[in-house]
Chains A and B, each alone.
With several copies, the nearest count.
Chain A
């Protein structure tokens, strides 16, 4: 028997899509029965009460969670989000209901052994509810009490070899697409780099020293499967510098409609779009118009290709990314608070991704940027907002990067150039008396 009636939520059990309500109900029941004999460290009926409080929100159309107090684990300034219910007497099981952010592994690959160790721990010490995964990338352990925070942390670090992720004015848990591990488009090993950066910057991840949050996201190619360009203060997007590799035989297989060569690797199989037409579907859609067929040969004018991935996506067996690989780095993406959303702006058109020297070029750049932001950033000012406030030039200056036309979509439309005194012959100091000799008042 359910602890609370949930007529609203019950209506979310039907329909094909997996029902979170059904899952919560199943979990409430599992906890109630407790066949595994768990010695629950937080209220056994917390999931019942979670259902109850959410039902109340469905009735009121308002949340019933209060501001989190500052709770956390000793010495860390992040990884825990405090949360209290605003109707504790009705729902005592969720009176305290903090989440813990557990740093996910690169590429989000798991062994079941590991996952079971997490679920076991969370059954014992938490609600047994999770988010797989949080929008930043973490495993979210959803709901426990204050005393359990240190216990969970201890077990994670001692028994699972696993640390917390980020929250607060910290570096946030970096995230990546699966990269070379299972994708032929990947221009660098995202899993290795994200793991390296996460470990290299553990201090920044755990101890707040920044003006506000800071996010890294790593995409293996411009398809951007981890949406780095929209969601990270620094995004590392794989790219290449040389030519797209063409297998002309394979091109002709696509043209001949060979069934082993479906357009876009089969992504459009669900509708009959007519026979594949390389002119219409590839050449005419190439945004730079840099492709053409010469007889049976496909030609790409690579100097004019912007590596948008379209042709490669359409004909993955015929076209391959180049061999001189690295990444482009963009800065400043963020959600709309406060001054409006930003996407990342291109700072480094091409940078090597070199594990052999511990990704030196990348870490140097990161540190220059952080030095500037920590020096100049205001409280709650994201990197993107600082760039807006002080100008893109300033970012170039602090990173020692020379301005190139690649930095802009188009040059400035206003002529309001702030010349520096040392750029102007004779400087800014002038003699008004001398001037007035030639120009009477």
Chain B
């Protein structure tokens, strides 16, 4: 189809250029009831899973219906969201920090019609378009990353692992029967764009083979000193290599036994790819949190060193996750986050009740602070 100009003139890029205007002002987007009651909210209640009411000192109320969704979203789907908001919410809506959609109405009687509308919508394949839930002591949407949809470094897919996990945990999205919030996060490589390092349960894509070396092209495509410097374990050295055809080229050498498969070299140099069908897969972490409630925020711990990529639904992964969620649900006290529970019963019991294997991989050996994770006491359970 024909090129349509926006008005931009490539020959004079600075002509009429507008820059540095920032985002739209939020006030334009507030629903009326929000604008009016901002800073005046006195309390809230979760009426049922996915439905909240916030009450203002003015007497106003705002009812919020929260829906899950794939974060990967088509414009068609967004337009449908807009249709709903136009119909029920005076043309306003918001997204949460975990990629749920929130529809807000200013009186109770508008809630049921909205809910019914949302529940009625399904994709052709059968899945719900707008499942209501994600509030309170349950599981909400999974914060995640690009995976095979868009990134160059993933060791697994993001959207697929998330869909599989949310299907497996769906009841917990629509119920509030866990001891506390349980946040699941996903990142497809250890750049950890999903910030899985502080989640109750985290799914992480991980490589297990050192980079391949595309010697013929390496020096052409990469800056060798940058590649060498990129390696946190100093596994990479510059080297001269003789190709099959006899030519000698500048390249690098990798000390495989020092490699921890972080992919940092590949970030700096496309001639050092790590991806491998058998090598790549999933690490599961658990016990992290972000809130300061009762206990301090804490890092997630590696609880399953590796699971292979089992496309398209990663059953071993969802199994292990369900085991953790169930054991936690049965064992923890009200208000107790997964990591606090694991610490209370002891990690040795965690592995027992979650029926997970402990292997030497789970013992820290990275840098000196690894020491802090070893057990410096006789206080342990047999």
Contacts and interface: CB of A to CB of B under 8 A. Distances in A.
Give yes or no for direct A-B contact (beta carbon below 8 Å): yes
B262 A270 contact: no
Interface string A286-329: 01110000000000000111111110011011001000000010
Give the most central of B264, B342, B376: most A CB within 10 Å.
B376
Given A287-B379, A413-B302, A74 B13 contact: yes
B123 A23 contact: yes
A64 interface: yes
Interface residues of B, number: 200
A437 interface: no
Interface in A165-214: 175, 177-178, 180-184, 186, 189, 191, 195, 198-199, 202-203, 206
A230 B136 contact: no
Contacts of A151: 4-6, 8
A334 to B, nearest CB: 9
A147 B6 CA distance: 11
Given A63-B151, A112-B92, A157-B21, A418 B260 contact: yes
Interface string A335-348: 11111111111100
A387 to B, nearest CB: 8
Contacts of B124: 13, 22, 25-26
B72 A109 contact: no
A205 B271 CA distance: 30
Contact of A306 (B71, B160, B193, B380): B380
Contact of B76 (A27, A108, A195): A27
B297 A229 contact: yes
Interface stretch (A220-228, A353-361, A364-372): A220-228
Given A106-B26, A410-B343, A412-B370, A222 B6 contact: no
Nearest to A153: B8
B290 interface: yes
Given A309-B293, A403-B363, A408-B363, A424 B208 contact: yes
B380 A346 contact: yes
Contacts of B299: 341, 343, 413
A20 B86 CA distance: 24
Interface in B124-142: 124-131, 135-138
A394 to B, nearest CB: 8
A303 B381 CA distance: 7
Contacts of A435: 212, 273
A266 B45 contact: yes
Nearest to B299: A413
Contact of B24 (A75, A105, A418, A436): A105
Give the most central of A47, A53, A441: most B CB within 10 Å.
A441
Contacts of B280: 61-62
B107 to A, nearest CB: 16
Give the most central of A57, A120, A342: most B CB within 10 Å.
A57
Interface in B335-382: 335, 342-351, 358-382
B97 A177 contact: yes
Contact of B367 (A110, A262, A339): A339
Contacts of A78: none
A119 B348 CA distance: 51
Contacts of A441: 214, 217, 221, 270-271
A355 B177 CA distance: 41
Interface in A117-136: 118-120, 122-124, 128-133, 135
Interface string B136-171: 111000011101111111100101100110110010
A261 to B, nearest CB: 9
Contact of A58 (B62, B230, B312, B367): B312
A23 B45 CA distance: 33
A183 B350 CA distance: 35
B292 interface: yes
B378 A222 contact: yes
Contact of A307 (B170, B270, B361, B378): B378
8 closest A-B pairs (Cβ-Cβ)?
A: A13-B125, A267-B136, A391-B365, A15-B167, A270-B177, A22-B123, A27-B74, A412-B364
11 contacts: A19-B163, A20-B159, A39-B2, A54-B157, A112-B86, A158-B18, A265-B45, A304-B349, A306-B381, A349-B380, A405-B348
Given A61-B309, A177-B97, 13 more contacts: A15-B170, A16-B128, A16-B167, A65-B150, A83-B152, A111-B28, A132-B95, A229-B292, A270-B138, A308-B294, A317-B43, A392-B374, A421-B256
